[in-house]
């Protein structure tokens, strides 16, 4: 596992999904699909994504 940081490459909106994927050894596409499903089906708030966008630092 690597550190949790938003990458400069491979980001779509803010790089949050790519950061989580790299941290846990998953593909960014998998995390993006799971995020969309959680937002649509489980009621995960988009505010959680925005909060992670603010909290997770950019990669050096």
pLDDT above 90 for 10: no
Q: Which two tokens stand for residue 39?
A: 């937002």
- Partner residues linked to 58 by β-bridges: 6
Phi and psi (nearest 5°) for 16? -65, -45
pLDDT of residue 27: 93
Rounded to a whole number of angstroms, the CA Rg of the chain reads 11
Q: What pLDDT digit, counting tens, does each position of 32-43 carry?
A: 999 999 888 887
Confidence label for 1 from pLDDT (cuts 50, 70 and 90): low
Structure tokens that stand for 12 in this block: 């779509």
Q: What is the pLDDT of residues 13-27, one digit of tens each?
A: 888 999 999 899 999
Q: What is the pTM of this model?
A: 0.80
């Amino acid at each position: 596992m690597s550190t949790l940081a938003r990458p400069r490459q491979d980001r779509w909106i803010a790089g949050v999904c790519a950061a989580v994927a790299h941290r846990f050894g998953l593909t960014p596409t998998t995390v993006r699909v799971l995020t969309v499903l959680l937002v649509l089906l489980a009621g995960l708030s988009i505010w959680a994504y925005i909060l992670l966008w603010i909290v997770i630092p950019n990669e050096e």
